[in-house]
Structure 1
């Protein structure tokens, strides 16, 4: 599983960074991916990555400010030209559907696939997505407009079969391997019972990824981040600018670090930087956060890709 930062700036693009967009590349074998927000020129950023629009299955929108959604209509339209024929889910605040449908109606845009909208109520802890691999929970944050954070939880994966041990026990390769892999005990023709937990390695723990939209420090931001393997938290301003940050519904580096530390996250990735900061300033912003957060701290740059590893 990898996370790509397509845009790490706040408000408007500049020479150093594009506006907000994050791609979450899901693990094999499916290799599909999800998009979180799409500021303008997001599809231009995607062209610099190996991600294909035809493999995009879900777009999560944190809120409806322009720097998070102005890239959506073009990207959704281009997906038809890139071979996208499967349905595309759009999950986000109320008004998202009206925004997209209005743009497409006025521009006469048609698609070769179905858009499936899920508009969220301003509730906490709502389950917004679930399949056999992942669940996604959304909660409201504190911003100037309705805004959400998302907690992505991967299901634990069965451990590998201990094939050498099975061969020693006289279990031939075949359907019985599948039953044991699924956790079912089996009985051989000679009456011997093979217990699944004795011939499989420990389960692989699922990963937890938390992606927060724009927010000042809030209880929901903390709750969504508990135990996260990777936490994406905005850090629009540097330490000491808390008053200005809160005036516009944002956070500082030290506040992002405080949430990560209290939540017990493993990796903190800060993003959504004000245009006043150049890339040369990012090491200083990292150091501010590191004084409070003991885990790995990263100030994201555009097109940065981070592997999200499983816990031991």
Structure 2
């Protein structure tokens, strides 16, 4: 699981930061998922090492333009590229109507390859490897945060030990690798868990933007490996943050601390903190680190690979 930030500015793009979009690469599937799609996202994708043909799912937090204005252009390019891949899009009420209106008045045929899902708090997607859930955050319009949870994996199977026990190679090995118990032809009962190493806990990521400090963000981000949280304003501009229902750097850090996350990556910075201004984003970093030391600043094209927990003991030590 690798996170790539494609846009880290709030409201409007700047010379160095595009508006909101984050990609989650899943190498084991040769695909990536997109979280928000501000204007210019497809250009950012072309400048990255991500391949648009591998885009499989898009999750939209809310209907403000700096989070959705790049969506139709990206979908059009996917169609014109001839990839024809199926794309599932998740988002708040109104997203499907917006896409249909854009398609109608731009004479664009998105066909049956685009599936739109209206989200509500709880689990919105699940398969054999991942669960995605969402919570309603606190913003001027309905906005959802997302949590992506990788399911736990069985520990490494000891094939040499299985062979030494005289277990015949074949489908039985698959059952044992999954931790199941099997009865051999000679009557012996073998427990798969006895031949597997410690379970490898799945990794978790939470994405919270746009929102002012709220309990829902803490609940969504509980014990995640990485929390991506907006930090539109500096602490001294907290009054403005409350008025506009956005977060300060210290609010993001307080969420990370309360949720006991392992790493906080802040994004969605107001252009008022651009280099050369009295306050810049590094001041926001210092404010957050005073509360939650393990904090990083996102910037466009910054990538972070979420480390895999190789066994339960290492996982416990890291926590």
Match of 1:299 in 2: 297
Alignment pair present for 1:258 and 2:254: yes
- Greater helix content: 2
User: What's the counterpart of residue 46 of structure 2?
Assistant: 47
**Post-superposition shift, 1:67?**
0.5
Evaluate the alpha carbon distance shift between residue 201 and residue 238 of structure 1 in structure 2; reply closer, same or farther with a 3 A threshold.
Answer: same
- In structure 1, the partner of 2:108 is 109
Task: Give runs of aligned pairs for residues 204-223 of structure 1, distance below 5 A.
Answer: 204-223=200-219
Q: TM-score, normalised by structure 1?
A: 0.94
User: Which consecutive residues of structure 1, in runs of 5 or more, have no partner in the other structure?
Assistant: none
Q: Residue 288 of structure 2 corresponds to which residue in structure 1?
A: 289
CA distance in 2, matches of 1:225, 1:165: 40
Equivalent residue number for residue 145 of structure 2: 149
CA distance in 1, matches of 2:181, 2:94: 51
Preserved CA contact (<8 Å) 1:16 1:279: no
Name the residue aligned to 1:98.
97
- In structure 2, relative to structure 1, the CA distance for the partners of 1:101 and 1:138 (3 Å cut) is same
In structure 2, the partner of 1:177 is 173
CA gap of 1:16–1:45, structure 2 versus 1, over 3 A, is same
Give the structure 2 partner of residue 3 of structure 1: 3
Report if the CA contact (8 A) 2:53-2:83 is conserved.
Answer: yes
CA distance in 1, matches of 2:298, 2:124: 27
Deviation string 1:137-191 (CA, Å, 9 cap, x unpaired) is 1111111111111111111112111122122222243222101012222333443
Indicate how the Cα distance of structure 1 residues 230 and 36 shifts in structure 2: closer, same or farther if over 3 A, else same: same
Stretch moving more, 216-225 or 181-190: 181-190
For the residue of structure 2 that corresponds to 1:240, the secondary structure is: helix
Q: Distance in 2 between matches of 1:81 and 1:140?
A: 35
Look up the SS of the partner of 1:76 in the other structure.
helix
Aligned partners of 2:103 and 2:110 also within 8 Å = no
Q: Describe the SS at the equivalent of 1:116.
A: strand
Please say if residues 269 and 281 of structure 2, whose CA atoms lie closer than 8 Å, have aligned partners that are also in contact: no
Q: Runs ≥4 in structure 1, deviation > 4 angstroms?
A: none
Distance in 2 separating the partners of 1:25 and 1:279: 30
Cα separation, 1, equivalents of 2:160 and 2:286: 49
Aligned counterpart, 1:236: 232
Q: Secondary structure at the match of 1:158?
A: coil
In the alignment, structure 2 segments of 5+ residues that lack a partner are: 310-314
Give 3-state SS (helix, strand or coil) of 2:271's partner. Answer: coil
**Contact 1:85–1:112 at 8 Å: present in 2 too?**
no
- Could you report, residue by residue, the CA deviation over 1:184-239 in whole angstroms, capped at 9, with x for unpaired residues? 22333443332211111111111111001200001111110111111011000112
- For the aligned residue pairs, the C-alpha RMSD in angstroms reads 1.6
Provide, for residues 18-69 of structure 1, a one-character-per-residue CA deviation record: whole Å limited to 9, x for no partner.
00001111241x1221111100100000012222222211111001111001
